[in-house]
Structure 1
Amino acid sequence: MTASQSFTFDNQAANITVCSRQMLDYLDELLTTHGLSRAVKLRAKFIIAELLNNAVKHSGTHESTLAIALQEKALLISKTDEGKPFDLVTEIEKKNAQLMVSSDAMHLLYAVKKEDNLVSFYCKENLTFELDVNQLAEHLGLLIITKSADEFTYRYHKPVNVFCAQIKLG
């Protein structure tokens, strides 16, 4: 069981709905053909919405490519562009550890370097309940993707940025 499709997005806020609808229609086909659960589609919908918002707000380029790939044991959703890099690797190396990217009343979002130019995201419950509203606005989307995916990574291989979310199946 493998299937994939790419979608070109012009990074315009006015076209988020159109691109999202195309991707969700493709997911509906996968649901029907491969018997995926509605829960997978819901998680994928959150990921798609935030990747599209990320493209509009942060890519700094005119176009992004989004892709959906169904593999044997996972659904992969990725966004690729040649815009500004998200310089998490340098920040993590400065601290020589994980980097807290964002926090809110419920969660702490961390980035950790996995290998050269590859960062993985994870979150923990925020037991201190300290809310930093200055951090919330810019990185809430990363938190939503991290919570919706089983694995979420960012890779920069000059000049290409790749965000990839994985939802495990079964």
Structure 2
Amino acid sequence: MQIKYSGKYFTFINVSTALTPSLKQVLEYIEENLTDFAYDEDIYFKAKAIVTELLTNGFKHAGADSVNISVDIDPQYITITKTDYGVPFPLALPSTATGTKTRLSYDIMHHLYAINERPHHVRFIVEDVTDEEPDVYGIGEHFGLLIITKCAEEFVYDFDETSKLNTFTAKVRLPN
């Protein structure tokens, strides 16, 4: 199975009415460049969920006029990156100490954490809930981040203090 290296950069207006056409453009590109995997339900579902949630979080939380999505494909990963100049993710600001692990969201099966690995850099992780009596009232904010983290092999956020650029990067592993 031959996978060619490819990449594409998209710029979209940051409004809810642009979600569906923006998502379609990105998914069409992925399908065209991953012909062996495009209709693999697992890969397609993960890519669609990640792009949907990145775009949704953009217009719900960032407050920027536009968002940029880049898709890079290599033999091991699809890397989906969203950038904007909107409001930074709060846990990446200098007031949060390096090494801090903060629970952002949870449901009856998972806990979503943000770990400040270094200044302005957050890694998202999910841990399975092992409680015998789960908290059924735990679904709240950041559910989209939970979805992305579950779909991605790796999901991180970076904030560039100088340029004020927000960067969310999700990597989906391709099957061998």
What is the deviation of 1:157?
A: 0.6
- Pairing partner for 1:130 from 135, 139, 148: 135
Partner in structure 1 of residue 28 of structure 2: 25
The CA deviation at 1:15 is 1.0
Shift of 1:36: 2.5
What's 2:37 paired with? 36
Distance 2:22 2:77 in 1: 22
| Counterpart for residue 88 of structure 1 | 91
Q: Secondary structure at the match of 2:158?
A: strand
Structure 2 runs not aligned, ≥5 long? none
The answer for the alignment partner of 1:157 in structure 2 is 160
SS at match of 1:75: strand
Q: Deviations over 1:88-120 (max 9, x none)?
A: 1346418x5311111111110011122221111
Could you tell me how far 1:168 is from its partner in structure 2? 1.4
Q: Is the 8 A contact 1:117 1:157 kept in 2?
A: yes
What residue identity is the alignment partner of 1:115?
Answer: R
Aligned-partner Cα distance in 2 for 1:85–1:5:
24
Structure 2: which amino acid aligns with 1:168?
R
Tell me how far apart the structure 2 counterparts of residues 98 and 9 of structure 1 sit (CA, whole Å). 32
Instruction: Say whether residues 1:116 and 2:119 are aligned partners.
Output: yes
Which residue of 39, 50, 74 maps to 2:53?
50
Q: CA deviation at 1:132?
A: 4.1
Give the ranges of 4+ consecutive aligned residues of structure 1 lying more than 4 Å apart after TM superposition: none
Count how many residue pairs are aligned between Structure 1 and Structure 2.
165
Percent of residue pairs bearing the same amino acid type: 33
Between 42-51 and 115-124, report the one with greater CA deviation: 115-124
- Give the Cα–Cα distance (whole angstroms) in 2 for the partners of residues 64 and 111 of structure 1: 22
Where is the helix percentage greater, Structure 1 or Structure 2?
1
Deviations 1:105-152 (A, max 9, x none): 11100111222211111111122312444xx34200000000000000
Separation in structure 2 between the aligned mates of residue 87 and residue 98 of structure 1, nearest angstrom: 13
Where in structure 1 are there 5+ consecutive unaligned residues? none
**TM-score normalised by length of structure 1:** 0.90
Which amino acid counterpart does residue 141 of structure 1 have in structure 2?
G
